[in-house]
Chains A and B, each alone.
Chain A
Amino acid sequence: MEQQTTNYYVPAQSHWPIVGAVGLLFIAIGAGMTVQQMTSEATSGSWLLTIGIVIILYMMFGWFNDVIKESDAGLYSAQMDRSFRQGMSWFIFSEVMFFAAFFGALFYVRMIAIPWLGGASNNEMTGQVLWPNFEAIWPLVTTPAGDTTQAMGWQGLPLYNTVILLISSITLHFAHVGLEQNKRKQLTAFLTITVVLGVVFLFLQAEEYVHAYREMGLTLSAGVYGNTFFLLTGFHGLHVTIGTLMLFVMLIRVIKGHFSPERHFAFQATSWYWHFVDVVWLGLFFFVYVI
């Protein structure tokens, strides 16, 4: 169906970038106004935000559609394929650094900020004068100001979720092997299982959040333990959501007969992304829940 060229394909003009830029404009203004309007009745911000998200989805749909068409028309060389792969790898590296910053904040708070508030190092007087009753422990269930919460254990839901994500990485690998060996049934079956596992993970994560908010008093504003817990697991959950959507799109494309053993960059990229999300979870499970 496709012949490969050796020339590097430079696309002609495209309107997707400007559509994307306008989409981001709406998202940035909309998100900013939504946050500002949280205490009021106004909803203009959330409308702008929704419009922005719709524009971005439209852009992704159209842009990827163009890329798939060009690829099927045989316009892409092996060099082009390398560009895509390297681009995705560097993007994942930037995501790693994003999570690294939050992990850094967690480690700093646990190893330095809280012990110092309790009077460690040369901060004896800080402890005595400001909050004499403060106890430097982790998880920080009582803040210096006196707010209390409960710590989330690692057994139960978090452990199930760990197992689910680990299995999903393995099933995705089997799907990939199926694709490379042109065993389409194996591919479809394992990819479907992976998508289902992703959805189950998200469902359990939502359960956990409801439990934390309703029964444990563990909220986003419950001191720095709650802050790090929700921002780390929350951003991870957001990435799982995006990853699951990507996998779902891949599943639809697989069912429609896309991809060949030699050419399946989109599948490969999604798979890298999913394994990355899995590794982040392992870090989370150990440093946020277990230790």
Chain B
Amino acid sequence: MSTLSTAQEHDEHHDHKPKGMMRWILTTNHKDIGSMYLIFSFAMFLIGGAMAMVIRAELYQPGLQIVEPNFFNQMTTVHGLIMVFGAVMPAFTGLANWLIPMMIGAPDMALPRMNNWSFWILPMAFAILLSSLFMEGGGPNFGWTFYAPLSTTYAPDSTALFVFSVHIMGISSILGAINVVVTIINMRAPGMTYMKMPLFVWTWLITAFLLIAVMPVLAATVTMVLTDKYFATSFFSAAGGGDPVLFQHIFWFFGHPEVYIMILPSFGIISAIVPAFSRKKLFGYSSMVYATASIALLSFIVWAHHMFTTGMPVAAELFFMYCTMLISVPTGVKVFNWVATMWRGSMTFETPMLFAIAFIVLFTIGGFSGLMLAITPADFQYHDTYFVVAHFHYVLVTGAIFSIMAAAYYWLPKWTGYMYDEKLGKLHFWASLISVNVLFFPMHFLGLAGMPRRVPDYALQFADFNQLVSLGGFAFGVSQLIFLVVVIKCARGGEKAPAKPWEGAEGLEWDMPSPAPYHSHTTPPEVK
């Protein structure tokens, strides 16, 4: 420790940060950029969440009472787009920026200026997307999946702006992902071999590969939507020789790997937190790496399980069904390893660990409902019902978002230099855990009973459960404000955090003082 602290003083001596607004706008520092990503993502989480509140308020009782159906459609669409591209993905990119250079012993990201560019494109893209809501004819109302012909023949005039805002979001993601891949491949400290990298780094390496592979496909998809709507092409129109189902094929070729883009970094986070609070090494490190890679590879050949009801030949339905079910094998390996890590561990239950354990249980529920949806004949019943909504909210909210919350609590002391308020953190956890299940669990039953998704009104027999769901929704929304309070409190002060606040934590980032110095490893550390 003593040699380290002299090194720290030396570092802090060089720690003159630029001041004021311009520090953030012109920065090339991975920590500044990481913070901006995280703050942006939380702001988007609140905006997208507010839209979810509108949706749940309208669905509180049958009939139309608060919003017009067209506005309701805009809310479901933009809620989805914001949560996927504005909240979950930037949160992971923010964590990657903050943590990867510290974890692999690098001075910064490989291409620091490009890093800042990737971030600043995002606020621009979302400014365009959100302002299109206020245009004549309204904003995007075709669902976040923008199926043709809803996004072509029947789309509002603002669709062109939606298309170009997705284009620049894509540029941002691709540049960000290139930066992550190059950083991990090229910037590791001497001795940091691939199989010594923390799993968060591994999962992000694979995620970044997926991003570079599929974001261009999304760009091509929106381009074809643009030409179909404005330039009279007929990619997705049978009258000109195209096919609306073609849209779904191309979209989901992007969309399914995208799903894993939003969950693989979570696996990395959980694989850091569970061992730390079990005070044991992670069980089956290498199998975790191989499982992540297998999930990523399989993600390219399962896309049509979103399209079982489009009338594909039976052979295709069977192929996609079996490939999809195959994914549960590597996913099962992961869940097994986390549980095995906890087995006979000396466990404590601080807030990050609570979120991590909730992740394991609730993500597994989401995984099981995914397995149910993968079964072609059963999917004919579940398709486009609230069962699907329940499924993907279990994997994305109690999965991705819970893991992001866990990560935030786990690394907050490293970022701010102060311990967060454990009592408030636990309150946030329990409030979220209870409300999120009241919110999403009854949706399974609504779906099985036949309630379709994306409707502003519904049949009377669904009223009770919808009321319950809405109440859970409001409670979950309010609970997230506790998190805001915790973070602000922690950033402003509190109990000083030691370099390694968690007894069982492992990794190079804990060798640095808290808060981490402005510049990470200016000379690469030796990794044994």
Q: Do A and B bind each other?
A: yes
- When the two chains form the complex, which single residue of A13, A87, A226 contacts B27, counting CB atoms closer than 8 Å? A13
Determine the distance from Cα of A73 to Cα of B520 in the docked complex, in whole angstroms.
24
> A231 and B125: CB pair below 8 A?
no
> B241 and A105: CB pair below 8 A?
no
Determine the distance from Cα of A20 to Cα of B313 in the docked complex, in whole angstroms.
47
Is B371 interfacial (CB-CB < 8 Å)? no
On chain A, the residues within 8 Å of B224 by CB distance are: 105, 231
Q: How large is the interface on A (under 10, 10 to 19, 20 to 34, 35 or more residues)?
A: 35 or more
Determine the distance from Cα of A117 to Cα of B253 in the docked complex, in whole angstroms.
23
Smallest CB–CB gap between B259 and chain A, Å? 17
Determine the distance from Cα of A13 to Cα of B19 in the docked complex, in whole angstroms.
12
> A32 and B164: CB pair below 8 A?
yes
Q: Which residue of B lies closest to A103 (CB)?
A: B220
Smallest CB–CB gap between A280 and chain B, Å? 13
On chain A, the residues within 8 Å of B106 by CB distance are: 8
Main SS at interface, chain A: helix
Question: Which of these binds chain A: B181-189, B405-413, B419-427, B428-436?
Answer: B181-189
Given the known interface contacts A17-B117, A25-B127, A97-B216, the answer about A221 and B163 at a Cβ–Cβ threshold of 8 Å is no
- When the two chains form the complex, which single residue of B114, B216, B245 contacts A94, counting CB atoms closer than 8 Å? B216
Question: Which of these binds chain A: B56-64, B166-174, B290-298?
Answer: B166-174
Question: Which of these binds chain B: A78-86, A168-176, A199-207, A262-270?
Answer: A78-86
On chain B, the residues within 8 Å of A291 by CB distance are: none
Is A1 interfacial (CB-CB < 8 Å)? no
On chain A, the residues within 8 Å of B124 by CB distance are: 21-22, 24-25, 28
Question: Which of these binds chain B: A108-116, A180-188, A245-253?
Answer: A108-116
Question: Which of these binds chain B: A33-41, A158-166, A210-218, A282-290?
Answer: A33-41
Smallest CB–CB gap between B339 and chain A, Å? 36
Interface string of B124-165 (1 = CB under 8 A from A): 110110000000000000000000000000000110110111
> B110 and A87: CB pair below 8 A?
yes
> B232 and A105: CB pair below 8 A?
no
On chain B, the residues within 8 Å of A130 by CB distance are: 238
> B28 and A140: CB pair below 8 A?
no
Question: Which of these binds chain B: A142-150, A189-197, A271-279?
Answer: A142-150
Q: A31-B160, A83-B111 are in contact. List 20 more A-B contacts (CB 8 A).
A: A8-B187, A10-B519, A16-B117, A17-B120, A21-B117, A25-B168, A36-B157, A83-B110, A87-B179, A93-B212, A97-B217, A101-B253, A105-B235, A109-B242, A113-B246, A117-B238, A122-B313, A226-B233, A227-B242, A231-B224
* Interface residues of B, Cβ cutoff 8 Å to A: 18, 22-23, 25-28, 106-108, 110-114, 116-117, 120-121, 123-125, 127-128, 157-158, 160-161, 163-165, 167-168, 171, 174, 177-179, 181-182, 185-187, 212-217, 219-221, 223-224, 226-227, 230-235, 238-243, 245-246, 249-250, 253, 313, 519, 522
What would 6 A/B residue contacts be, using CB atoms closer than 8 Å?
A14-B26, A32-B164, A94-B174, A113-B238, A113-B242, A224-B241
Which 5 pairs of residues, A with B, have the shortest CB-CB distance?
A101-B220, A21-B120, A221-B232, A224-B241, A98-B216
